[in-house]
Structure 1
Amino acid sequence: MVLYRTTAFTNKTSFLRVYKFCCLSNKTAESNNVCNFERIYRNSMFGARMRTQAGLLWMTHFSSDREENLGLVQRDDLNRTYRENISPSSSQSEQDEEETLNTQPRITTWEAGWNVTNAVQGIFVLGLPYAVLQSGYTGLLLLVLSALLCCYTGKILISCLYEEDGSGRSRRVRRTYADVADACWCRLCPRLGGKLVNVAQVVELMMTCILYLVVSSNLMGHSFPFLALTPATCSALTFLTLMPCMLIRDLKVVSQLSFLCSLAHFLITFVVIGYCLRQAPRWTYGGLRLAVDFDSFLVAAGVIIFSYTSQIFLPTLEGCMADRGQFRGMMDWTHVLACVLKTAFSLLALLTWGEDTKEVVSDNLPPALRMMVNLCLLAKALLSYPLPFYSAAQLLQTGVLRSDTGQYERSDEPEWHTLVLRASLLLLSFIMALYIPHFSLLMGLTGSVTGAVMTLLLPALFHLQLKWSRLGAAGKLLDVVILGLGCVCSLAGVIRSIRAMIHAFAST
């Protein structure tokens, strides 16, 4: 029995082998005790095996939680041995990396909140009243539900960056969205998952940049009709205005621009809301309906859901925060604010214009007020461009080219290859905005493929894989529901976008 207490047995066979060795002097006792052990072992293990079968199936084929936690514990246990045997060069490199991380500019919680607000209070807010008109009363419910879902998926995505060590402390062991994908798909496709996620992020960010260029050029032409500017001239002026984006060094500058962008957005929202309140005596209450066209509902649902997307920015923002513990609170108040403003904005616009609500609600305003709103929209579009542009450049530089962006941020003079990369991205977005036909349809297809996947599907899937053993039944069910919703939204959006593109090309 002393041997039993001091030896680790991995299965029943190893225990029986030692037990038989200890009972060689009494064959009858051996036989009886072995039979008793067999019966006790079967009775005790049957219930546990049945209860954990589903969990073991997931852990065996998909979950990365068990191996990663074991690795963290082993690293903690061997930390002293590692420090004793580590070479001086390795130790120095780790110290240099730690100093690099500490010297990088940090942003406050408010600055991070302005960046998230810039992402979720996008320029598409002017299309929300028309989207709610197409989706009926369910559109108002979708505005609230989408805010809750996107806020939740943003939080669980950031939680996937952390793991608990042997002492129970939470440590940030991953830096980017791609690192989470590599950790989850290491068994199926090592390192390929992170590359696919990086490609999807860069495509979505670049399409967003192109859209801001297109919108800025159109708004510039409509805001200054007395100058008779051609579309090409407006695009060129927009390109020149955005050239200083190549010199952005850190997220602190982007946060300041996002603050100005949010101010422009709030001004637009309050101007439209104020005009609608002045028209209260003329309000019509029959604009919303229950029965809606299915295709129109899909389009409206896509616009509403993706107006809250900010997941691709969150790992970078959270990593640059001075106090990361306030991230969850920041996500709560930014999404609550967005939900309240979007719901009030859409409802008041529908009460004011009813069935006459146009796709861009600013077109319903009087001419003088419309010009002021268009100028604010132009400023908002130009100020919104740096966030996706900076994120795309960082992803390409760190995820694809594998170069050191921290060296560029710390140096007094920018490195030439960084400037070349950013200039190429800016020029590429300018050329694509000029020459790609049916750009809105291509944008819809790209958004359906990458938007739903990056916002709903992947965060829920990664959270299930990495946190399976810590999730309760309600958490697992919620993640599965979001996972299914992401699949449905992506598939429906792709089918409808392809149909629209085929119809557009057939008619030209």
Structure 2
Amino acid sequence: LQGIFVLGLPYALLHSGYSGLLLIVLAAALCCYTGKILIACLYEENEDGQLVRARETYEDIANACCKKLSPKLGGIAVNVTQVVELVMTCILYLVVTGNLLSHSFPYVPITEKTWSVIAFVTLLPCIFIRTLKIVSKLSQLCSLVHFVIILIVMTYCLTQIHLWSWAKFKLSIEFEDFLVSVGVIIFSYTSQIFLPTLEGSMKNPGEFRCMLNWTHFFACVLKTTFALTAFLTWGEETKEVITDNLPSFLEMLVNLCLLTKALLSYPLPFFAATEIVYSCISKGNHSNYRSPLLALSVRVSFLLLTLLMAMFTPHFALLMGLSGSVTGAAMTFLLPSLFHLKLKWKKLSFLEKCTDISVFILGFLCSLAGIVCSIKGLLEVFG
């Protein structure tokens, strides 16, 4: 919930004004809700009226919804969507590391793509990661680095409190800029891909809803506080990535922290994507590699794929915006609400049905707006 997207929140406030603050809160509530209904789709009532886990993964939920049409169609669609989003995330981390290294060492005569290759070499040990335990340890370190970054930025902002002014907030906003802000804010909360696995690995799954409430609450408070303090400090001069606003001595330190964070973030989506693909190929258990050579081949192939796309895909940011508008909205809003309506229709109250339908419509509109903006950007570049 606290990814690199957070650093773009002050810029999102620049283009969304007071409505941006409301969006940060609303997005937290919506993403928390879709997380809950997605997990609800894993459960069915037994003969005694008790809820039991009837499904294990996002794929199982999709297959259950589409079994009359085709037993495997839903699962294939979900797996493709998940893998695309996860791979694009991995590529983004490689692009970001190359960019950060290039800006951190401007006097070294090395291109940004070469820096990405150097970063890639440090990620080679990922091919030997076989359990989620190692990934979780790296994610904990990633979270620690992230809080260091937030602490540095907010501490500096508090030293500039004499410059703060509420007059810096815009009352009028540009529609296209507002749509960009919506995308940044909403997708800074996305975590639905990992929730079924996370809930299944909890010692007490009954505490999942409570955990989701608290994590989204604290994420919302932190995002709002961070975005507000940073925007009030720099106002109209707020840049797309807020660390670019920092004095040079702090910017170098934060860039190195961001570099560490990007490298530590890579293993999670990489592991998840390779697990999905290996599972589809082997039809085996996600955690038991019956063929070590096949598993290694999948991981090596994915690692090389992310490097090649990071180096040779032109205008990657726009392409990621296009694919993210489809896959991100689908995994976060469209599919959870659609699956919940399909599997639980008879047990849902009228209000719950209306809520799910509203979330689906909102997700569709966000996706459509993102697609239009991304295609427009690509046409301007290639036109």
Pick the TM interval, shorter chain.
over 0.9
| Whole-angstrom distance in 1 between the partners of 2:203 and 2:303 | 30
Please tell me whether residue 429 in structure 1 is matched to residue 292 in structure 2: no
Shift of 1:176: 1.0
Q: Which amino acid aligns with 1:422?
A: R
What percentage of aligned pairs have identical amino acids? 58
Please tell me whether residue 210 in structure 1 is matched to residue 77 in structure 2: no
How many residues are matched?
383
Q: Which amino acid aligns with 1:431?
A: L
Q: Which amino acid aligns with 1:485?
A: L
| Whole-angstrom distance in 1 between the partners of 2:371 and 2:164 | 37
Shift of 1:155: 1.0
The equivalent position to 1:461 in structure 2, one of 335, 338, 344, is 338
Indicate conservation of the 8 Å contact 2:276/2:286, yes or no: no
**Could you tell me which residue of structure 1 aligns to residue 237 of structure 2?**
356
Aligned runs of 1:315-330 on 2, under 5 Å?
315-330=196-211
**Could you tell me which residue of structure 2 aligns to residue 145 of structure 1?**
26
Structure with higher RCO (Cα < 8 A, 6+ apart): 2
Aligned residues: CA RMSD: 1.4
Q: Which amino acid aligns with 2:342?
A: Q
**Could you tell me which residue of structure 2 aligns to residue 97 of structure 1?**
none
| Whole-angstrom distance in 1 between the partners of 2:110 and 2:210 | 46
The equivalent position to 1:233 in structure 2, one of 98, 114, 129, is 114
Shift of 1:249: 1.7
Aligned runs of 1:127-206 on 2, under 5 Å?
127-206=8-87
Aligned runs of 1:41-120 on 2, under 5 Å?
120=1
**Could you tell me which residue of structure 1 aligns to residue 367 of structure 2?**
490
Shift of 1:284: 2.7
The equivalent position to 2:276 in structure 1, one of 380, 392, 395, is 395
Which has the higher Rg, Structure 1 or Structure 2? 1
Indicate conservation of the 8 Å contact 2:23/2:182, yes or no: yes
Q: Which amino acid aligns with 2:360?
A: L
| Whole-angstrom distance in 1 between the partners of 2:328 and 2:271 | 19
Query: 1:10-29: CA deviations, max 9, x gaps?
Result: xxxxxxxxxxxxxxxxxxxx
Please tell me whether residue 243 in structure 1 is matched to residue 129 in structure 2: no
In structure 2, do the counterparts of structure 1 residues 326 and 433 end up closer, same or farther at CA, with 3 Å as the change threshold? same
**Could you tell me which residue of structure 1 aligns to residue 222 of structure 2?**
341
Bigger mean CA offset, 344-353 vs 399-408: 399-408
Q: Which amino acid aligns with 1:347?
A: L
Indicate conservation of the 8 Å contact 1:452/1:490, yes or no: yes
Query: 1:145-174: CA deviations, max 9, x gaps?
Result: 000100110111011011010011211111
Q: Which amino acid aligns with 1:326?
A: E
**Could you tell me which residue of structure 2 aligns to residue 440 of structure 1?**
317
Q: Which amino acid aligns with 1:270?
A: L
| Whole-angstrom distance in 2 between the partners of 1:277 and 1:241 | 36
Bigger mean CA offset, 425-434 vs 251-260: 251-260
Shift of 1:405: 4.1
Q: Which amino acid aligns with 1:310?
A: S
Indicate conservation of the 8 Å contact 2:9/2:185, yes or no: yes
Indicate conservation of the 8 Å contact 2:131/2:287, yes or no: no
Shift of 1:401: 4.0
| Whole-angstrom distance in 1 between the partners of 2:335 and 2:174 | 29
| Whole-angstrom distance in 2 between the partners of 1:465 and 1:405 | 26
Query: 1:339-373: CA deviations, max 9, x gaps?
Result: 11111111111111111111111111000000111
Bigger mean CA offset, 483-492 vs 440-449: 483-492
| Whole-angstrom distance in 1 between the partners of 2:166 and 2:85 | 38
Query: 1:437-490: CA deviations, max 9, x gaps?
Result: 010000000010111111001101111111122222221111111011011111
Indicate conservation of the 8 Å contact 2:24/2:223, yes or no: yes
Please tell me whether residue 268 in structure 1 is matched to residue 149 in structure 2: yes
| Whole-angstrom distance in 2 between the partners of 1:292 and 1:447 | 24
Normalised to the residue count of structure 2, the TM-score between the two structures is 0.97
| Whole-angstrom distance in 2 between the partners of 1:426 and 1:204 | 15
Indicate conservation of the 8 Å contact 1:284/1:353, yes or no: no
| Whole-angstrom distance in 1 between the partners of 2:130 and 2:29 | 33
> 3-state DSSP class of the match of 2:44?
strand
Indicate conservation of the 8 Å contact 1:217/1:238, yes or no: yes
**Could you tell me which residue of structure 2 aligns to residue 418 of structure 1?**
295
Q: Which amino acid aligns with 2:376?
A: R
Query: 1:235-271: CA deviations, max 9, x gaps?
Result: 1211111111111121111111111111111111111
Normalised to the residue count of structure 1, the TM-score between the two structures is 0.74
Shift of 1:282: 1.6
> 3-state DSSP class of the match of 1:249?
coil
Query: 1:400-457: CA deviations, max 9, x gaps?
Result: 442444333xx9xx81111111011000000000000010000000010111111001
Please tell me whether residue 296 in structure 1 is matched to residue 177 in structure 2: yes
Q: Which amino acid aligns with 1:440?
A: A
| Whole-angstrom distance in 2 between the partners of 1:378 and 1:399 | 33
Indicate conservation of the 8 Å contact 1:286/1:354, yes or no: no
